Amino acid sequence: MLGDGECIKQVKIGLLGDDSVGKTSICHAFSHIEFDPDQMTTIGADKYERKYSLKNGKEIKVVYWDTAGQERFRAAAIKTIRFIQEIIIVFQLTDRKSFEDVNDFLQTVKENWSNPKIVLFGNKIDIDKKEWKVTSEEAKEFAKKLNLPYFEMSAKTRQGVNEGFSYAIEEAYHMAEEELNKNKIIIPNNNNNSNNSGCPGNKKKKK
């Protein structure tokens, strides 16, 4: 464990998924932006930021990107978020195709990221279950087989949004912490070699 984790000031998360599954509305719900049923389609990647208090009491900044679902815009969106620590794949419980396309997004992740953390979100639980094309049981079984954490939510009512994001943020933070520990450089604690940044490995160069 890296001391109090003071070096980790922010975590970065990206949302992937088909067009119109509710990625933008989920980002808005987590950002406390009013729900808009006529939300415009995202082109490229839209960036959001907010402060978040971790379970360990540390406050960090969360940077999260809503990416385009349309295939013609995906390449540009993926290029924008190549440096994220956590990926959220979103599908819509009332849209069978968006659920089946999760496999395509998992392949995209495999091709563009090295061992990232992935979380699966099933959106629109506010819709009558008679209209669901994917049952909770099927989605949970799918996630279990792939060892993916799974959360159901409604971007409209905000039910489940904080729970899903909280899990993703904590995981992203631990991933960043592990990476920092792995790359940590021990610096002698003397006047010539110490620095006031509070971060290991950030030794200032003499001019």
The tens digit of pLDDT for each residue in 19-44 reads 889 999 999 999 986 654 555 554 45
- CA 93, 99, 102 angle in degrees (round to 5)? 140
Do residues 146 and 116 make contact, with C-beta atoms less than 8 angstroms apart? no
Greatest CA separation found in the chain?
69
Q: pTM score, two decimals?
A: 0.80
pLDDT tens digit string along 144-155? 999 999 999 999
In a domain, 88, yes or no: yes
In a domain, 37, yes or no: yes
Q: Which pLDDT band, with edges at 50, 70 and 90, does 62 fall under?
A: very high
In a domain, 193, yes or no: no
Token reading at 199: 């971060």
DSSP, collapsed to helix, strand or coil, labels residue 131 as helix
Beta bridge partners of 90: 17, 121
Q: Which of 166, 164, 150, 132 is nearest to 50 (CA)?
A: 166
In a domain, 171, yes or no: yes
DSSP, collapsed to helix, strand or coil, labels residue 173 as helix
Q: Is the pLDDT of residue 197 over 90?
A: no
Q: Which pLDDT band, with edges at 50, 70 and 90, does 52 fall under?
A: very high
* Domain range enclosing 17: 10-177
Q: Which pLDDT band, with edges at 50, 70 and 90, does 75 fall under?
A: low
Cα Rg of the chain, angstroms: 19
- In the chain, which ranges are continuous DSSP H helix? 23-30, 71-80, 96-100, 102-112, 136-145, 161-182
Q: Which pLDDT band, with edges at 50, 70 and 90, does 195 fall under?
A: very low
CATH of the domain at 172: 3.40.50.300
In a domain, 204, yes or no: no
In a domain, 109, yes or no: yes
In a domain, 51, yes or no: yes
| pLDDT, averaged across the chain | 82
Q: Which of 136, 133, 134, 131 is nearest to 160 (CA)?
A: 136
Domains held by the chain: number: 1
In a domain, 197, yes or no: no
